[in-house]
Structure 1
């Protein structure tokens, strides 16, 4: 069997309505490229007919299609990680199954990879998402650039290409709550970006609501920087200094003016503010402790139900 040049990794969760068109367009694009390729679908606990369709794709092209079937829903990034641990290609491309990133854009990423870039990110042009979704992504991008040294124009675009070396490093990292594009950026020697077309979702609904986007941002920040803890420590020191100065002022007023009742509500306001700061700090520390707790549990990151692949020629 010829050495595989490109491995396409596609996580799937309840995408029954999009899979047939995705498979047809993907095979047409990659067959036209002419170099040996494979596609690895990870069925992330879909409750519709996605699993049945993936099996049909495997039966049609067993030498090209491989299917990883989870026994539950472990999340998009774990679905990608499972495929990363099994890819055979020289370059690995990640692609969502919703057709918002057209498979016809893959050659753009491969062209940049052939120029020596080992992590190529897609940058969505004329993004076809709601206004609220676009501004939420801009906010997350801003927070990531402010708190980390990771520089990506569009971190939410999953149409990306990585060298085998970068993917192997990601697989060895053992991360549990991670953000793969950011992790790849840390391991890449020469990252790059290219503009790609962004289409409206062909069918179905987005699997990322605002809560999941917030959770993803927590994983990104707590997984790659200690800046939030450092900022909270600095702010706590400033609050402590301000509180000490206030106590001194109040003590002097007590000695000079005598007992006062007018400042009682001011003191309550200051107290409530400091209590809220402490609660935020406890939550922030809890995020970091929670990540450490998940790591020491040593539970498997995902569990397979079935693996469909034909490796007879290897």
Structure 2
């Protein structure tokens, strides 16, 4: 077998070329969405390279520029020639939001595992190797960072985050201390099954719970730093948006593939109430001889009948749209202007 360039491995014959390809395959893709982070991007790349110096396996860094209006891309390009760094800068056509930028990075990432983190230097890339090891050791599909000692403003960041974390855990059933931490490690094959929408990156564990058991999702305490540059893009108003997003997540988790059941159940319930009212009015009119033409209850019953019909027909239309979607709507929620690599920049 050795003369043919192959060897026996776990009962299978593997060629030398296949072994070399497996050894050179990317183990990890680090995805970092950026928006107006010109002061942070240089130190960020330096910290990531320092943290990954002893990783020992091939990895890549993807910086996703979400339509920055400053020198973020120009500063990032300065690191394209850095020795030992496999860097891709993905420029989006405009600002699509952090969720869309994160989706773009996940779609382009080639690693077996994917790490995501913020670009404002608050997440510490030194946690990434330990999180990768913990993910493998605990046999998880998603490992979420827990900012146990969070270095943020109490009123503007901590309190809204705690409210959001409680609501998300209460209504989705996925119990975690910190949904909002962007530092997460995924198995690529799992997260690529999830399509992120709107501003719902906070709900990624809930989306992942739709494709794997909750026992395959875990968390781990990570380091958190105070913001050094720029201005936070979140505030107390985000709590209200999280509540609206939470309602959407609850709907998608329970009725994504069968929206007709949601609208149909409401329609049938309202229809049952209107039928009881109409039955009562029928008895009152034809058995007891009372006049019902001017009674508000008759108008209420008629409105309930119309509402019931509208909800049931809405459910039918929603079912038709859902089935059309599941036939393969792969339209991304972002547009890539350019992917810049060392080769393309030369």
Q: Same fold (TM over 0.5)?
A: yes
Tell me the residue number matched to 1:132.
Answer: 160
* Aligned counterparts, 1:1-314, within 5 A: 4-33=26-55, 35-60=57-82, 63-115=85-137, 116-126=139-149, 128=152, 129-145=157-173, 151-153=174-176, 154-167=178-191, 169-170=192-193, 175=195, 177=197, 180-188=204-212, 190-202=216-228, 203-206=230-233, 209=238, 213=242, 216-217=245-246, 220-221=249-250, 223-226=252-255, 229-254=260-285, 255-256=287-288, 258-259=290-291, 264=296, 299=331, 301-310=333-342
**5+ residue gaps, structure 1:** 146-150
Q: Aligned in 2, Cα 1:278/1:161: closer, same or farther, shift over 3 Å?
A: farther
Aligned residues: 302
Residue by residue over 1:182-228, the C-alpha shift from the partner in whole angstroms, topping out at 9 and shown as x without a partner, is 45444557433223344554432226845764675466445443176
Secondary structure of the 2:182 match is coil
Q: Aligned in 2, Cα 1:62/1:109: closer, same or farther, shift over 3 Å?
A: closer
The separation in 2 between residues aligned to 1:221 and 1:284, in whole angstroms, is: 17
**5+ residue gaps, structure 2:** 1-22
Secondary structure of the 1:39 match is strand
On the 8 A contact 1:17/1:204 being kept in 2, the answer is no
Residue by residue over 1:107-138, the C-alpha shift from the partner in whole angstroms, topping out at 9 and shown as x without a partner, is 34112123132322223425542423432343
Residue by residue over 1:4-28, the C-alpha shift from the partner in whole angstroms, topping out at 9 and shown as x without a partner, is 4332111112223432343333222
Secondary structure of the 1:142 match is helix
Tell me the residue number matched to 1:148.
Answer: none
Residue by residue over 1:71-95, the C-alpha shift from the partner in whole angstroms, topping out at 9 and shown as x without a partner, is 2233333323333344343322111
Q: Aligned in 2, Cα 1:287/1:210: closer, same or farther, shift over 3 Å?
A: farther
Q: By how many angstroms is 1:36 displaced? A: 4.1
Residue by residue over 1:16-65, the C-alpha shift from the partner in whole angstroms, topping out at 9 and shown as x without a partner, is 34323433332222225454432110112112222222212324457332
Q: Aligned in 2, Cα 1:248/1:199: closer, same or farther, shift over 3 Å?
A: farther
With structure 1 as the length reference, what TM-score do the two structures score? 0.73
Q: Aligned in 2, Cα 1:117/1:294: closer, same or farther, shift over 3 Å?
A: closer
- Superposition RMSD on alpha carbons, in Å? 4.1
With structure 2 as the length reference, what TM-score do the two structures score? 0.68
Q: Aligned in 2, Cα 1:201/1:304: closer, same or farther, shift over 3 Å?
A: same
Tell me the residue number matched to 2:3.
Answer: none
